[in-house]
Chain A
Amino acid sequence: MAGFPYFPHTEADVRSMLERIGVGKIEDLYADVPKEFVKKGAYALPDAMSEPEVRAWLNALAGMNAKMKVFVGAGAYDHYTPSVIPYITSRSEFLTAYTPYQCEISQGTLRYIFEFQSMVCELTGMDISNASLYDGPTAAAEAMKMAIACTKKKTRVLLSKTLLPHVVKVVETYAKFHGVEIGYVPATDGQTSLEALKAELAKDDVAGVIVPETNRYGIIEDHTGFADAIHAVKALLIEYCDPSTLAVIKTPAEWGADIAVGDGQSLGIPLCFGGPYVGFMGVKKEHMRKMPGRIVGQTTDKDGKRAYVLTLQAREQHIKREKATSNICSNESLMALWVTVYLSLMGPNGLREVNKLSSDGAHYLYDELVKTGKFEEVFPGKPFLKEFVLKPKKFPGLLQRDLEQAGFFAALDTEEGYVSFCVTEQRTKEEIDELVKIVKEG
């Protein structure tokens, strides 16, 4: 038997275990499997690799990806990851644990989830947060389901046309199968239209409305009057937000939201081709029992020590089965830790500084690009932070090619024929000047 590092059994071990069980060979343990289902012949898999070969091959694959200076956001932001975070999250006590079912030996996990919930509430202003969801788009889909569950007999959820496209697609998929009708609220001048919203709400079957705080054009939306209009028909206001920006812009709670959802990726999680990220959800207290996912609460143990437990579990699938508020079981716990460590390091001032650096850089890029004369402003004067769109005067293909050849991933095409840019604190003035130079010369 050739050795394999993850299998401790020796031939002698196998023999003695088989003997204790009372069978002659391992195959006998599959005697209950109908013969026709036991695979005959080899599996169509590659030969086993040694660890050095795996390392070399994966390094080669990593090298096949282009190394780009990222000037695109659209739901995934290239913010800096402090070195402390991977150091902490790779601790095996966190990394190799399962869901904290045995709370007495899972206080580490339970405590950071409690901290995560506290930070989500702090950023969003909401009363209650859960232990995480898969990503921002699925969090929006869960919020859609929750709106239906909270407002009995209503069947329709409205989506703003200014939501990021990947959010819309996921919510539409869930809606189709969950039996929810989706309506759309168009934009006026780059932001969700209150007039159009009121017209849709007048149809009286609306359970909830999902609107973005910063939208697909990067614009900070003004939601004055939204909550009043939505609550007047007993529907829920769901704010989709980039949590990093909530350090400086109005919180979902300040807009009067019933549910806040979004993706925690902007809080120091690497781009990693789209995942793992972490969805979050904050809700008003009255919706606590309709909330999906795990929730950690504080209590005491028998000796009066402070202790943390999974709580309000009567909402969950392992108790309620088909009557649960959601089917979610595993969530994104380690990524919640990632975000929690990030926010611990950054604190209020660091997070404001990240926003300031990103926003100052983005406005600098915006102004310089407009000066080149190659773009039209689409939404002049509209407030934005780190992300914006422009309309190229010429077909942008050549420009994108030039940028790409110089190592820039920038000027992402949008459905409307604009191109979008994003600047985080990771982008230097030199990089921005170089990008602008390429545009100018293109």
Chain B
Amino acid sequence: MKYYDKLVFELSKEGRVGYSLPVNRFPAAPEIPAALRREASLDLPEVSEPDVVRHYTNLSQMNFGVDTGFYPLGSCTMKYNPKINEEVAALPGFAGLHPLEHAGLTKGALKVYQEMEKALAAITGMYAFTFDPCAGAHGELTGLMIMRQYHMMRGDLARTKVIVPDSAHGTNPASAAVCGLEVVEVKSLENGRVDVEALKPLLDGTVAGMMMTNPNTLGLFETQIKEIAELVHGVGGLMYYDGANMNPLMGVVRPGDMGFDIMHLNLHKTFSTPHGGGGPGSGPVGVAEHLVDCLPDIRVSGFHGNFGVILRAYAYILMLGKQNLKKVGQYSVLSANYIKECLKDAYKLPIEGVCKHEFVFDGLVNDGAHDDVHGATTLDVAKRLLDFGFHAPTIYFPLLFHQALMIEPTETESKETIDAFIDVMHKIAAEAAEDPRILQEAPHNAPIKRPDETTAARNPILKFKDTL
């Protein structure tokens, strides 16, 4: 990757144009009244088309995507994004459809929603889906709204709390707070699972429900899920499934069968749609049959959710079909366990046993600390990986371990890629033992070295005009 140091504003020269519009053949409309007219200058760049193309091409070359290389970012399920998905989403028959066109004009689009609902219901064991949410956290929020709506519709207004394990994704408690629920944290056991004994005293008539992801963020299956669901249901609460970790269960286990009442899926994780550098995603929410009446009044996005993303996921499901679904789950679990077993000699594995699609190391076995030399941290390992052409795993999450390094390979990486990653991870561990400074100064050959984040936060420069 080569460093490129321009902002598009810096390419601007008065009089250049990058657009081409039809000749105006209409009579002039009345002028906008002076009191309503923009007075400020409009300092957008004036750039030619070739300049724009080259600028963004140069920017793209400072970026790393799944198509560039291995991206073992835990909990993000960075699987391959099939290209047929992109092709079908761009078809003019879909891309040109106005969201307010009525059912008679949008039969093809509505069919996509119907077929997707059927497929997701089959995959998850849920009864019905809403496709309005635009991301995973948006799905969580919607699901919690449905949870509250259910209790409100029954006149059960005392339920103001939601139980969230300490290993949960940060979005879980944040979504609960946005939804007006009080978060009660339940601790994990030494073996990484929810502490059922600690859960019991938290349960009473004020509990709206419990949010869980299973397997949890350590990649471990919550083996007591049946008991947990029975306990929560026993006090009248609902079970919410955070679908961020759905990938290992594809074709093997259905959240609906485990006692979950509400769940979201991340189509941009499990269903192969590209993450786009941070969206657009899609977070459809599924509910069990007894919650269907809670759906209609909840409107969380302007029209019908991210239809373009839903289309991509539909193409993926058609390709998978019932024949290949199970392989998604199985291969993702196989690859994760393989990496874990191959690397646990060099990286601390806090909890032994089979994992699902991901697992967490707690830093290096030998971080190279000696005398006055600090040992290499998880951050240093992550930065060194970049030098070898790999994206880093998720780091410092979950919060249960100080040096968490969370690795998720997905089912679309070959054994050769995975072996190359394992080799590099061993090499980095050996470097750390020998001289941790090699890691601490990494990355050595990325477009930039480590940036000064403290100054960025202390003296925020957040737009081009702040730089002038």
A17, B335: Cβ atoms under 8 Å? yes
For B251, what are the chain A residues with a Cβ–Cβ distance below 8 Å? 39, 43
Please give the distance in Å from B277's CB to the nearest CB on chain A. 4
Q: Which residues of B sit under 8 angstroms from A340, Cβ to Cβ? A: 8
Given contacts A334-B277, A357-B21, 16 further A-B contacts (CB under 8 A): A21-B337, A76-B100, A94-B276, A97-B276, A114-B463, A134-B301, A254-B38, A295-B462, A299-B455, A299-B456, A311-B462, A332-B134, A332-B278, A347-B16, A347-B18, A356-B24
Interface pair B462/A86, CB less than 8 Å apart: no
Q: Are B122 and A114 in contact (CB-based, < 8 A)?
A: no
Are B457 and A311 in contact (CB-based, < 8 A)?
yes
B190-207 vs A, Cβ < 8 Å mask (1 yes, 0 no): 000000000000000000
B236 at the interface (CB under 8 A from A): no
Q: Judge whether A65 and B450 touch: CB under 8 Å.
A: no
Q: Does A6 contact B (CB under 8 A)?
A: yes
Q: How far is the CA of A122 from the CA of B40 in the complex (A)?
A: 9
Q: Say yes or no: is A185 at the interface (Cβ < 8 Å to chain B).
A: no
A-B contact count (CB 8 A): 686
The answer, yes or no, to whether A115 is at the interface (CB within 8 Å) is: yes
**In the complex, what distance in Å separates the CA atom of A278 from the CA atom of B135?**
12
Chain A residues with CB under 8 A of B91: 58-59, 62
Please name all residues of chain A whose beta carbon is closer than 8 Å to the beta carbon of B320 when the two chains form the complex.
45, 48
Give residues 333-367 of A contacting B (CB, 8 Å): 333-335, 337, 340-341, 343-354, 356-357, 359-364
Stretch at the interface among A153-161, A164-172, A202-210, A434-442: A164-172
A93→B61 contact, CB < 8 A:
yes
B129 to chain A, nearest CB (A): 15
- List the A residue with the shortest CB-CB distance to B325: A43
**In this assembly, does B369 line the interface, its C-beta being within 8 Å of a C-beta of chain A?**
no
B7: chain A residues at CB < 8 Å are 111, 114-115, 118
1/0 per residue, CB under 8 A from B, across A77-104: the answer is: 0101010101110111111111111111
- Whether the Cβ atoms of A272 and B62 lie closer than 8 Å is no
Given contact pairs A74-B100, A360-B29, A107 touches B63 in the complex (Cβ within 8 A): yes
Give A364 to B392 CA distance when docked, in angstroms.
Answer: 57
Segment at the interface with A among B101-109, B284-292, B370-378, B431-439: B101-109
The interface stretch among A192-200, A231-239, A312-320, A370-378 is: A312-320
8 pairs from A and B in contact (CB 8 Å cutoff): A58-B315, A104-B447, A138-B301, A300-B451, A312-B460, A326-B178, A328-B135, A349-B46
A18-B334, A122-B44, A364-B27 known; A43+B299 contact, CB < 8 A: no
Q: Is the CB of B280 within 8 A of A6?
A: no
Chain A: minimal CB distance from B388 (Å): 11
* CB closest chain-B residue, reference A353: B21
Q: Are A247 and B457 in contact (CB under 8 A)?
A: no
- In the complex, the answer to whether A58 meets B88 with C-beta atoms within 8 Å is yes
**Chain B nearest CB, measured from A281 CB (Å):** 13
The residues of A that contact B33 with a CB separation of less than 8 Å are 383
Query: Distance (Å) between the CB of A155 and the closest chain B CB?
Result: 12
B281 at the interface (CB under 8 A from A): yes
Chain B nearest CB from A60 CB (Å) reads 8
Residue A217 is within 8 A (CB to CB) of chain B in the complex: no
For chain B, the bracket of interface size reads 35 or more
CB contacts (< 8 Å) of B403 on chain A: these are: none
Question: Please, which residues of chain B bring their CB within 8 A of the CB of A104?
Answer: 383, 386, 443, 446-451
Distance from A404 Cβ to chain B, minimum over Cβ atoms (Å): 7
CB A30 to nearest CB in B, in angstroms, measures 6
A114: chain B residues within 8 A (beta carbon) = 7, 462-464
A321–B21 CB distance below 8 A: no
Among B180, B252, B302, B309, the one with the most A-chain Cβ atoms within 10 Å of its Cβ is: B302
A222 CB → nearest B CB, Å? 6
Report the separation of the CA atoms of residues A288 and B462 in the bound assembly, to the nearest whole angstrom. 11
As a 0/1 sequence over residues 258 to 298 of chain B, the CB contacts with chain A under 8 angstroms (1 = contact) are 10000000001000101111111100000000000000011
Is the Cβ of B88 less than 8 Å from the Cβ of A341? no
Is residue A106 contacting chain B, with contact meaning CB distance below 8 A? Answer: yes
Which among A43, A74, A138 has the greatest number of chain B C-beta atoms within 10 A? A43
**Interface residue? B247 (CB, 8 A):** no
- Choose among B29, B73, B93 the residue that contacts A65 (Cβ–Cβ < 8 A): B93
Contact B55 A344 (CB under 8 A): yes
**What is the bound-complex CA distance between A439 and B202, given in angstroms?**
66
Question: CB of B141 within 8 A of chain A?
Answer: yes
B245 → chain A closest CB, angstroms: 13
Q: Does A393 touch B at the CB level, under 8 Å?
A: no
Q: Determine whether B157 belongs to the interface, using a CB cutoff of 8 Å to chain A.
A: no
Q: Let me know if A395 is at the binding interface, CB within 8 A.
A: no
Mask of B18-43 contacts with A, CB within 8 angstroms, 1/0 = 11111011111110110111111011
Instruction: Tell yes or no: A182 within 8 A of B by CB.
Output: no
Q: How far is the CB of B416 from chain A (nearest CB, A)?
A: 8
Instruction: Tell whether A48 pairs with B412 under 8 Å between CB atoms, given A88-B53, A91-B60, A301-B449.
Output: no
Q: A43-B122, A76-B100, A383-B32 are in contact. Are A29 and B354 (CB under 8 A)?
A: yes
Q: In the bound complex, how far is the Cα of B414 from the Cα of A360, in angstroms? A: 57
Given the known inter-chain contacts A34-B226, A106-B64, A297-B456, please indicate yes or no for A322 contacting B122, CB distance below 8 A. Answer: no
Residue A131 at the chain B interface, CB threshold 8 Å: yes
Docked pose: A141 CA to B305 CA in angstroms: 16
Nearest residue (CB) in B for A306 is: B5
Establish whether residues A345 and B47, one from each chain, have CB atoms under 8 Å apart when the complex forms: yes
B413 contacts which chain A residues (CB < 8 A)?
8
The answer to whether B414 and A9 have CB atoms under 8 Å apart is yes
Closest partner residue, chain B, to A355 (CB atom): B32
* Nearest B residue (CB) for A76: B99
Known A51-B84, A299-B453, A321-B170: A94·B303 in contact at CB below 8 Å: no
User: Is there a chain A Cβ closer than 8 Å to B176's Cβ?
Assistant: yes
Tell me, rounded to whole Å, the shortest Cβ–Cβ distance linking A247 to chain B: 6
Mark A265-278 against chain B: 1 for CB-CB distance below 8 A, else 0. 00000111111111
Q: Which residues of B contact A136 (CB under 8 A)?
A: 302
Q: Which residues of B contact A352 (CB under 8 A)?
A: 42
Kindly supply a per-residue 1/0 record for chain B positions 411-427, scoring 1 wherever the CB is within 8 Å of any chain A CB and 0 otherwise. 11111010000000000
Which residues of chain B from 243 to 259 have a CB within 8 Å of any chain A CB? 251-254, 257-258
* A residues in contact with B335, CB < 8 Å: 9, 17
Q: Is B189 an interface residue (CB 8 A)?
A: no
Closest to B299 in A: A169
Q: Which residues 111-131 of A sit at the B interface, judged by CB distance below 8 A?
A: 111-112, 114-115, 117-119, 121-123, 125, 128-129, 131
Smallest CB separation, A21 vs chain B (Å): 5
Q: Are the C-beta atoms of A32 and B52 separated by less than 8 Å?
A: no
Residues of A within 8 A of B122 (CB): 43-45
Q: In the complex, are the beta carbons of A102 and B455 less than 8 A apart?
A: no
Which A residues are CB-close (under 8 A) to B347? Answer: none
Shortest beta-carbon distance, B264 to chain A, in Å?
12
Q: Is the pair B254, A301 in contact by a Cβ cutoff of 8 Å?
A: no
> Does the CB pair A275–B93 fall under 8 Å?
no
Q: How far is B40's CA from A253's CA once the two chains are assembled, in angstroms?
A: 10
> For the complex, what is the distance from the CA of A101 to the CA of B60, rounded to whole Å?
16
Distance in angstroms from A65 CB to nearest chain B CB is 4
Is B342 an interface position by the 8 A CB rule? Answer: yes
Report yes or no: B334 in contact with A26, Cβ–Cβ below 8 A: yes
Cβ-based interface call for A369 (8 A):
no
Residue of A nearest to B392 (CB): A102
Asked if A150 is at the interface (CB within 8 A of a chain B CB), the reply is no
The reply to whether B38 and A250 form a contact with Cβ atoms under 8 Å apart is yes
Asked whether, in the complex, the Cβ of A118 is within 8 Å of the Cβ of B464, the reply is yes
Contact: B449 with A115, CB < 8 Å?
A: no
Partner of B61, one of A108, A275, A330: A108
